[in-house]
């Protein structure tokens, strides 16, 4: 499991020959490319030992070719570390530029989550991840030098490359992707929907709607963040097509004259920059639809390490994203052991009167806060006092469900919403 001693190595494997990568000035990670180029076996990349010799590295992940030279998440598709017993998980935003110039740098933000039930050991390494409590995620801004020769290259992301936190990270801690290195000085623009942040569990927040929940048959505005993954500014006036009915023509991605159900002009966007484009006048459906809302909010617990069988205080920030004021209602708090992180109830089946599934070990606590009313678009921090602490020492997951009785009518239409969550360590007296 990643800790203050885990090392992240970003390695560029070159198909035509290895080139030593420079270290960024801010030293986010040790960059090593002393790997002999190998012909992939079934897509896997065989790598020799790097200079710091953590282990012989054989990537168990198949290197994926990008679509139209597209960047991809650092974690390979259809593979989760939970399936292989390793407790570190990581994602990335777009790798910028999407086609890096020969001899120049590519960059990305990497997001790391500790899925373990304790904080792990430290180790002497070149770059240390910040200490991650269970279920905690932190981001690292990293960059790496690309080969001096144009062509196809493979970027390998290796978490805990010194194997200080887990003795099998050489097999479980790697992921790779192909990228195309172009001639130095090549200028191009490449527009893509931006990833404002890449949160835990791969839940990505895209542009917000205004109003957030438009009434049936009304009009609303969609705010779409766009990023230029190229090396030159884009031209102002490029069209963006949007579709809301789900009836997307087969030629929509190939016919450059197809306008979409709705369209908007994209302003000039500099390389590596992001702008939000507002698309107005979009028509909401004639009937109600279920909406999944991904909630990311701060939950704090005091004391920092509550004693078992004692009490603790939970503070959670609750926001009213509707267009009318409403009460917070009854709050339900679930506490579940995270010896197995999959037991943490990050989703619930039904929004109203939620309960833990029978197969999930944990406890449910209920608190009445019907006297607290929040105006539309406003937030309040709710303080829950004297909440019982579990009777077993260790790390616990904590999830919160406001308005559990669905006093506010809009809550009743939510199915399987994501829950705000946190973690805490209960200790013996």
**Amino acid 308: pLDDT:** 93
Please give the sequence-ordered ranges of beta strands (E in DSSP) within 74-218, or none if there are none: 88-92, 105-114, 137-145, 151-159, 174-181, 191-193, 209-210
Residue 347, CB-side half-sphere exposure with 13 Å CA sphere: 12
pLDDT tens figures, 30-59: 222 222 222 333 333 222 222 222 222 222
Residues 165 and 214 in one domain: no
**Amino acid 259: pLDDT:** 74
Q: Which of 118-132, 305-319, 323-337, 343-357 has the lowest mean pLDDT?
A: 118-132
**Amino acid 50: pLDDT:** 27
Residues 27 and 169 in one domain: yes
294 found inside a domain: no
Q: Show which of 283, 307, 329 is a domain's final residue.
A: 283
The count of other CB atoms within 10 Å of the CB of residue 331 is 22
3-class SS of residue 23? coil
pLDDT tens figures, 212-270: 767 777 888 988 889 999 999 999 998 888 888 777 777 777 777 667 888 899 999 99
45 found inside a domain: yes
Looking at per-residue confidence, does 140 or 104 come out higher? 104
Residues 227 and 374 in one domain: no
290 found inside a domain: no
What sign for the dihedral angle of Cα 83, 86, 87, 91?
negative
48 found inside a domain: yes
Residues 17 and 62 in one domain: yes
CATH number at residue 387: 2.60.40.10
How, if at all, do strands 8-14 and 151-159 pair?
A: antiparallel
Give the pLDDT band (50/70/90) at residue 73. Answer: very low
Residues 313 and 256 in one domain: no
Residues 267 and 328 in one domain: no
**Amino acid 341: pLDDT:** 57
361 found inside a domain: yes
Q: Six-digit token pair at 117?
A: 């039930």
Rounded CA separation 298/303 (Å): 16
Q: Show which of 283, 312, 329 is a domain's final residue.
A: 283
Name the average pLDDT for the chain: 68
At CA 318, angle to CA 313 and CA 322, rounded to 5? 160
204 found inside a domain: no
Listing DSSP states for 50-101 in one string gives -TT--S--EEEEEPBPPGGG----SSPTT--GGGTT--EEEEE---BSSSPB
Q: Six-digit token pair at 53?
A: 């010799």
Q: How many domains are contained in the chain? A: 3
293 found inside a domain: no
> Residues 335, 336, 337, 338: what is their CA dihedral angle, to the nearest 10 degrees?
-110
The count of other CB atoms within 10 Å of the CB of residue 383 is 13
pTM of the entire structure? 0.59
Mean pLDDT of 314-326: 81
**Residue 170 main-chain phi, psi, to 5 deg:** -60, -25
Residues 22 and 163 in one domain: yes
Provide, rounded to the nearest whole percent, the portion of the chain with pLDDT above 70: 58
Residues 172 and 56 in one domain: yes
Domain coverage including residue 120: 8-184
Give the pLDDT band (50/70/90) at residue 142. Answer: confident
Of 140, 103, 133, the closest CA to residue 10 belongs to: 140
Give the pLDDT band (50/70/90) at residue 378. Answer: confident
Rounded CA separation 77/64 (Å): 9
Contact 46, 38 (CB under 8 A): yes
Residues 122 and 67 in one domain: yes
Rounded CA separation 106/177 (Å): 13
Residues 409 and 344 in one domain: yes
Residues 269 and 230 in one domain: yes
288 found inside a domain: no
Q: Show which of 168, 184, 200 is a domain's final residue.
A: 184
Residues 164 and 239 in one domain: no
């Amino acid at each position: 499991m990643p800790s203050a001693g885990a090392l992240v190595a970003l390695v560029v494997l070159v198909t035509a020959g290895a080139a030593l990568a420079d270290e960024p000035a801010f030293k986010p990670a040790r960059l090593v490319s002393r790997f002999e180029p190998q012909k992939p076996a079934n897509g896997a990349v065989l790598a020799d030992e790097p200079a710091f010799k953590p282990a012989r590295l054989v990537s168990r992940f198949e290197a994926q070719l990008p679509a139209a030279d597209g960047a991809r998440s650092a974690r390979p598709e259809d593979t989760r570390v939970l399936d292989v017993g390793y407790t570190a998980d990581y994602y990335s935003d777009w790798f910028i530029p999407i086609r890096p110039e020969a001899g120049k740098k590519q960059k990305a933000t990497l997001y790391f989550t500790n899925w373990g039930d304790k904080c792990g050991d430290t180790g002497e390494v070149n770059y240390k991840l910040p200490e991650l409590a269970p279920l905690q995620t932190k981001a690292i801004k990293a960059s790496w030098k690309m080969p001096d020769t144009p062509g196809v290259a493979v970027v390998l992301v290796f978490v805990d490359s010194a194997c200080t936190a887990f003795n099998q990270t050489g097999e479980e801690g790697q992921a790779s992707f192909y990228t195309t290195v172009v001639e130095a000085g090549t200028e191009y623009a490449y527009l893509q929907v931006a990833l404002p942040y890449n949160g835990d569990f791969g839940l990505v927040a895209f542009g917000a709607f205004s109003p957030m929940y438009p009434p049936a048959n009304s009009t609303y505005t969609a705010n779409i963040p766009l990023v230029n993954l190229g090396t030159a500014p884009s031209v102002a006036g490029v069209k963006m097509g949007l579709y809301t009915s789900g009836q997307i023509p087969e030629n929509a991605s190939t016919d450059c004259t197809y306008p979409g159900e709705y369209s908007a002009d994209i302003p000039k966007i500099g390389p590596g920059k992001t702008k939000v484009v507002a698309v107005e006048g979009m028509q909401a459906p004639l009937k109600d639809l279920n909406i999944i809302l991904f909630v990311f909010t701060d939950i704090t617990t005091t004391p920092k390490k509550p004693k078992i069988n004692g009490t603790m205080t939970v503070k959670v920030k609750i926001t009213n994203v509707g267009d009318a004021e409403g009460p917070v209602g009854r709050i339900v708090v679930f506490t579940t052991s995270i010896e197995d992180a999959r037991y943490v109830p990050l989703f619930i089946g039904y929004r109203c009167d939620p309960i833990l599934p029978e197969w999930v070990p944990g406890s449910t606590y209920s608190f009445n806060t019907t006297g607290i009313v929040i105006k539309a678009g406003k937030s309040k921090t709710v303080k829950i006092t004297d909440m019982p602490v579990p009777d077993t020492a260790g790390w616990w997951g904590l999830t919160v469900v406001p308005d559990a009785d669905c006093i506010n009518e809009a809550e009743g239409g939510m199915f399987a919403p994501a829950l705000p969550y946190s973690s805490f360590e209960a200790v013996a007296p």
